[in-house]
Amino acid sequence: MYKLGALEEMVILLAAAMQEDAYAVSIANEYANRTGHEISIPAIHTVLKRLEDKGLVRSYESAPTSERGGRKKRIYQITNSGYQLVLDLRSQREALWSLIPKMSS
């Protein structure tokens, strides 16, 4: 299993959730909405490239869009390996959370 950093984990989860709308700008916007912290587009591109090199996401170019002045977007989709990894990460996180005792008030 691949080891992912916190930012890689967040980006792959966002890409999985956003499906056909997962491109660098939309991921950066959603990251800011969810965390309250801004992130640069180049940082997102770097993480997406690492995830793609690991085979956890794949990308393709969209058709040109008028709102982008006829430019294409690079859309990212989670692969089966990426999906299995996020399921494994979820299971690990849930197991760790189950170790934390309930606080009495």
Gap between the Cα atoms of 35 and 43, Å rounded: 15
Average pLDDT estimate for 60-65: 84
Given the candidates 2.40.110.10, 3.30.200.20, 1.10.10.10, 1.10.1740.10, the CATH classification of the domain at 6-98 is 1.10.10.10
Gap between the Cα atoms of 94 and 99, Å rounded: 9
pLDDT for residue 8 is more than 90: yes
Single pTM value for the model: 0.85
